[in-house]
């Protein structure tokens, strides 16, 4: 098989895997008061908290307005807390509330159980190789994203 054929097959298989994981994630979040995008925002807040709307927008590649709209829904469900930034009274930071922490713990447990079922037939060595490959891909994607942001800053 040529490199071109291998890459084509990889893209096809990644699409199939993505659809499968999407279906499993739908089952994990079924009945919860958040959308998939809000869930992604919650996990991002968890990792960066306290975090500003601007930081979240950059991290998730969304507009600050979109972040604000998503955050409003999470705030209404009592999953996040907004605080005025002590260094800049014009901005707010977000962090998880106690209910938000509990919700993410529940979802993380469900995700871990799902992932364990998905990879049950893989050896530790295969998982390690997969992890290294994903890490390389993430570094490449982040490099491209950083360059786009740098180029955008130079043109403003």
Please give the Cα distance from 78 to 100 (Å, whole number): 7
Would you say 91 and 71 are in contact if contact means Cβ atoms under 8 Å apart? no
Q: Which fold has domain 31-121?
A: Arc Repressor Mutant, subunit A (1.10.10)
Q: Based on DSSP, count helices (H) and strands (E) in the chain, helices before strands.
A: 6, 3
Residue 79 makes CB contacts below 8 A (sequence gap 6+) with 33, 34, 42, 96, 97, 99, 100, 103
Would you say 59 and 48 are in contact if contact means Cβ atoms under 8 Å apart? yes
Please give the Cα distance from 56 to 67 (Å, whole number): 7
**Which pLDDT tens digit goes with each residue over 121-130?**
999 999 999 9
Query: Judging by DSSP bridges, how do beta strands 80-84 and 92-96 pair with one another?
Result: antiparallel
Q: What is the mean pLDDT of residues 126-138?
A: 94
Please give the Cα distance from 51 to 31 (Å, whole number): 27
Residue 125: CB atoms within 10 A of its CB come to 8
Band (pLDDT 50/70/90 cuts) for residue 145 is confident
| 3-state per-residue secondary structure call for 67-105 | HHHHHHHHHHCCCEEEEECCCCCCCEEEEECHHHHHHHH
Q: What is the mean pLDDT of residues 55-76?
A: 92
For a pLDDT cut of 70, what percent of the chain falls above it?
97
The pLDDT, as a whole number, for residue 91 is 84
Q: Point out which residues pair with 52 in neighbouring strands.
A: 93
Q: What is the mean pLDDT of residues 83-103?
A: 89
pLDDT of 156 above 70: no
Instruction: Give me the residue spans of the domains in the chain.
Output: 31-121, 123-156
pLDDT of 56 above 90: yes
């Amino acid at each position: 098989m040529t490199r071109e054929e291998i890459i084509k097959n990889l893209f096809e298989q990644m699409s199939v895997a993505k659809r499968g994981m999407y279906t499993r994630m739908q089952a994990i979040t079924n009945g919860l008061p958040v959308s998939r995008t809000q869930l992604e925002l919650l996990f991002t807040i968890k990792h960066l908290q306290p975090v500003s709307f601007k930081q979240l927008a950059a991290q998730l590649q969304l507009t600050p307005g979109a972040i604000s709209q998503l955050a409003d829904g999470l705030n209404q469900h009592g999953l996040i807390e907004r605080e005025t930034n002590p260094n800049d009274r014009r901005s707010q930071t977000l962090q998880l509330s106690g209910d938000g922490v509990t919700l993410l713990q529940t979802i993380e447990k469900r995700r871990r159980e799902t992932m364990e079922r998905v990879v049950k037939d893989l050896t530790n060595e295969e998982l390690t190789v997969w992890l290294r490959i994903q890490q390389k891909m993430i570094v490449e994607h982040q490099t491209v994203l950083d360059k786009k942001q740098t180029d955008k800053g130079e043109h403003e």
